[in-house]
Amino acid sequence: MWLRTSFIAIILVMCLFSCDRQNNSIYSPSLLMLEDSLEVMPEKFLRQILEMDTTSLRESDRALYYFLLAKAKLLVPSAPELLLDESDQVLSHFVNQRDSTRLCQLYYFLGRLYADRYAFLRANASYTQAEKFAGQNIRMLFAIKVGEAYIYRFKMMHNMEEECLKRALSIAGELNDSTLMAEAMHELAELRIFEENYMGAENRLRQALKLLPQGKTLAKTEYNIDLARVYLGMNKLDSALYYTDIALQDEHPYDFEIVCNILRGNIYLKRHCLKEAEYNFLKDVARLSFKEKQDVYYKMSLLKKEEKDFQSACEYAEKSICYRDSLEVNNKAGYISNLNAFQEHEGQQRRIAQMNMELSEQELSYYRLAIILSFVLLLGVSVIFRIKQAKKKVEVSLKEKELTMVRLQNNQWETEVKYLQERRDREALEVESLNQRIEYYKRLNALTVPILMKRQNSQGAMHLKKEEWDIIMQNTDACFDNFTLRLKKAYPQLTLEEIRFACLLKMEFSLSLLSEVYHIAKGSISRKKMRLKEKMQIENVTLDDFIKQF
């Protein structure tokens, strides 16, 4: 009774701790369904996420809701801006749940969002945390390394960028994923373009285009645009214009068309086709970003200067300077904001780490208590078991010996019975086979011998006609399962005479009878057998034995 009570107490203690942790990790089924479906149709399910009533969500569901918003922001760029200030609370929730998979993904999403806002310090910190929780998720490691390479490119740390991209290429090779390999090759080509190593960039881009699977039209368009940039840098203007036209052939977003127009303008500017260059530069200027407008207006100032229109050149130069100054002001403000945000983020991370340590200490105290109780209970149970085992040890050993002896006797008896039964079965089969064989020969001799004896003349010689040979062959087929048909199929080179001779051998005619049938000596019969054996290519067995077994 005391033993049963101890076991029940242990189970209750363990259930108490497990239930306490499981209750915190239960999410709403609707949110889990959205998580599974978001990558399939992101725009459709983003609308469902935004239309949800979040006022009644529990803390765990709020964390998962924020996670889905961050994921949707990457899949649908037009999604509403994410409140990054809430990220620390959500991350703390997933840390408490020890949900490394979602922690890795959320840190990666935040890294991408910070990088898009040029908050590279926070982005780098997020990528580092994502890699820490990635574990064996190799695809996520590939995405993290590509994201880190983008940050190192901004920091002008090209050695570190190349190291990250080569690691990403190695990961893509391990996965044997041609799409990821092409993406890594493209990023390495971008690095070579930035270094003005146009030959290396061209090789990488061509490798990327070869690896790219069918149907990746957007990636193909982007790679062709970069090839056009490479040829422009190499001053191969015809090739640059050719690949620009190829990029515009496939389906592409409108932004790609704007990039191609600016690229065309630069190509025509180098070819001194000033009207075409001006047309392409100014075609979509209103839709360009500040940086692109600065570059376009600078190129237009050069173009007008070449046309000797100095007034227009000055106006475009002023516009370029104006946009450059605006960019510098925005960049400075952004850098200061990002630096302050990073410092605040570091402080929040330290607070989260402190909270996690306190939570871990509290959990450790509970676990220690549970372990001590379990140890005491197990110790008591083990003592009781030892006492009972000492009492029953002799009884169990004696019973086992008796059972062993009984099993051995039973096994011996069963083996003897089985052996006798098998012996009887073999003897019965042999007797049945012998009887069948004797019956076959009786029937065959009863059919064949009278035919032969009718044709025997006064000197003992036999003269068989075709009809009689046919009867002999039919009898042989009837007694030996279509012997002649099987022989013809196996040895199509045999003549009718040789098949007839084989029928007489199958019936085990003696040499004396065979010599009377064929009017030749017994030695000639032996030579006839030898020739037939060679023709049938029989080895390691006599012709008589082969015919018997066939």
Taking alpha carbons only, the member of 272, 281, 268 closest to residue 240 is 268
| 456 phi, psi to nearest 5 deg | -85, 130
For the stretch 228-242, pLDDT in tens is 889 888 988 888 888
pLDDT at 439 over 80: no
> Residue 252: helix, strand or coil by DSSP?
coil
Q: How confident is the model at residue 486 (pLDDT cuts 50, 70, 90)?
A: very high
- Distance (Å, whole) CA 110 – CA 83: 11
Tokens of 113: 């969002």
DSSP 435-471: HHHHHHHHHHHHHHHHHHHHTB-TTS-B---HHHHHH
Q: Are 512 and 522 in contact (CB under 8 A)?
A: yes
> Residue 272: helix, strand or coil by DSSP?
coil
Percentage of residues of the chain with pLDDT beyond 90: 6
Q: Mean pLDDT score of the chain, rounded to an integer?
A: 79
Tokens of 172: 């893509």
For the stretch 366-384, pLDDT in tens is 777 788 888 788 887 777 8
Predicted structure pTM score = 0.54
Q: Are 511 and 522 in contact (CB under 8 A)?
A: yes
Beta-strand runs (E) in 154-243: none
Q: Are 226 and 201 in contact (CB under 8 A)?
A: yes
pLDDT at 319 over 80: no
> Within 10 Å of residue 182's Cβ, how many Cβ atoms?
24
Per the listing, tokens 């368009």 go with 221
- Distance (Å, whole) CA 101 – CA 93: 13
pLDDT at 419: 84
pLDDT at 24: 41
For the stretch 110-157, pLDDT in tens is 888 888 887 888 888 888 888 888 888 888 899 999 988 888 888 888
Tokens of 12: 């209750």
Per the listing, tokens 């881009």 go with 205
Our CA dihedral for 246, 250, 255, 256, rounded to 10 degrees, sits at -20
pLDDT at 203: 92
